[in-house]
Structure 1
């Protein structure tokens, strides 16, 4: 099955995919699964009053770009930059339409989309007991799959969605890597359900291989996307 990348600026899903009532949840929760703060509730009320459509979670786009060869933890954290946050359907489209397309970004670069309050680091308290599903793509098709994955996350379409922390696109020299981070690597049912949900929403051909890796394993062997800066 041949897959070709979408045209620049073309969305595979219209805004109605995020504006569906099934994706706008009245029971907002924070990154720890508890009731949201008074501030978040007030924000939601303001959005509704303004005629906007609140998402279940507030999200943050992050960006990482550094010179290959720098491997220290301090340097890595210093190079993670917050781009923008959003909490409504309308806010998402304003942000997303102004982001550079993956095909225009240099290697090595990471784009991160995480729920508010969760940093895109293995050591973050929301991530430290979790792991990630990894899929490798040819560069010509990665932009399409990244967009579909972003829409699925923002629209709360992935199974066990409260267990999902965020998604990452790692742009490398010979390939691009998509990863979906979750909270609990030991919850086999949630991990496998997430795998099936990713396959379903991305419509992955059978030829694509998915690999799951707990973050503690990445920390032990000092591997994964953090040190794929030097691959090529």
Structure 2
């Protein structure tokens, strides 16, 4: 069983090489993404209360396919959460802990109060660590590639993604669960939301390297008007 993971601790170099596409001399040098996407970090603030907007910071932007791969290659995979290799980062002001990794459209803040998110909601998955590192990576990678590749429909509804590292902590401080979220801008069209949920669930379940559909997990629907910040 082969999973789509970009973590060197999970995927053998030969497996990763099989996923890489050969260069086509007829393809333009830059392949623009439909939207520009911004990568954000949400930092933990142990021992003190810090406003949400102060705990988030932009760390990268992606305008094209050529921008995407170098950036995404540097970002942690969900499997990194299980070994705590993602959590500890170093900055000029010392070390800190990352609570969440977020990828949102340019111009959209990763906040429920943002105008692009306030009337919408998000679909969230809670995955147990026991599913395995490679499976967790594939779930997340499917969501990212489907969203930024504009193949996850209705594509224009989606405003961003979150990978959250603070759900449940098991022995040794290692997360026993990982949360993944797909944010959308409007909840007024019930049929569109239902279609998005179905497609998100199927996207997550895709066995990309095997060309088939795996077991389909159920997403939990959250409306931003009815929920506070967590």
TM-score (normalizing by structure 1): 0.71
Please state whether the residue corresponding to 2:42 is helix, strand or coil. strand
Please state whether the residue corresponding to 1:158 is helix, strand or coil. coil
Is 1:94 aligned with 2:70?
Answer: yes
Cα 1:7–1:208 change in 2 (3 A) is: same
Cα 1:15–1:61 change in 2 (3 A) is: farther
Residue 132 of structure 1 corresponds to which residue in structure 2?
A: 122
Give the Cα separation in 1 of the matches to 2:98 and 2:108. 22
Give the Cα separation in 1 of the matches to 2:119 and 2:162. 18
Please state whether the residue corresponding to 2:227 is helix, strand or coil. helix
Is 1:171 aligned with 2:171?
Answer: no
**8 Å Cα contact 2:41/2:98 also seen in 1:** no
Is 1:52 aligned with 2:30?
Answer: yes
Please state whether the residue corresponding to 1:175 is helix, strand or coil. strand
**8 Å Cα contact 2:205/2:216 also seen in 1:** no
- Deviation at residue 83 of structure 1 after TM alignment: 0.8
Greater helix share, 1 or 2?
1
Residue 45 of structure 1 corresponds to which residue in structure 2?
A: none
Residue 44 of structure 2 corresponds to which residue in structure 1?
A: 66
Cα RMSD (Å): 2.7
- Deviation at residue 207 of structure 1 after TM alignment: 6.8
After TM superposition, where is structure 1 displaced by more than 6 Å over at least 4 residues in a row?
Answer: 2-5
Give the Cα separation in 2 of the matches to 1:183 and 1:143. 26
Is 1:146 aligned with 2:140?
Answer: yes
Please state whether the residue corresponding to 2:199 is helix, strand or coil. helix
Deviations 1:115-144 (A, max 9, x none): 100010000010000000011112334332
Greater strand share, 1 or 2?
2
Residue 218 of structure 1 corresponds to which residue in structure 2?
A: 227
TM-score (normalizing by structure 2): 0.71
